[in-house]
Structure 1
């Protein structure tokens, strides 16, 4: 069974690429894999997936 996590990262205006990289790496360390990225009204919405019974 899978579980999902939906987040809207706050990246600011400076060093956006570096902040996004850190955000993705930190989330990956928790066992989450990037599933999809969607551009919403308030910025990017990032959807992660992982096995629930890990």
Structure 2
């Protein structure tokens, strides 16, 4: 079974790329993988196995 997480990120902030990279790495360490990046709505959808 899979579980999903949706986060919103803010575009145009100072050091935005660095903050986004740090957030992605943090979620990856928790077992999440990026499933989809919705650029128009500034959302990232993550997926991981629920019974990991």
* TM-score class normalised by the smaller sequence: 0.7 to 0.9
Runs of 4+ residues deviating >3 angstroms? none
Which of 44, 47, 51 does residue 45 from structure 2 map onto? Answer: 47
- Give 1:14-33 correspondences, 5 Å limit: 14-33=14-33
Over the aligned positions, Cα root-mean-square deviation in angstroms equals 1.4
Greater strand proportion: 1
Q: Which runs of 5+ in 2 are unaligned?
A: none
Q: How far is 1:9 from its partner?
A: 2.6
Q: Which runs of 5+ in 1 are unaligned?
A: none
- Give the TM-score of the pair, scaled to structure 1: 0.82
- Give the TM-score of the pair, scaled to structure 2: 0.85
**Matched residue count:** 51
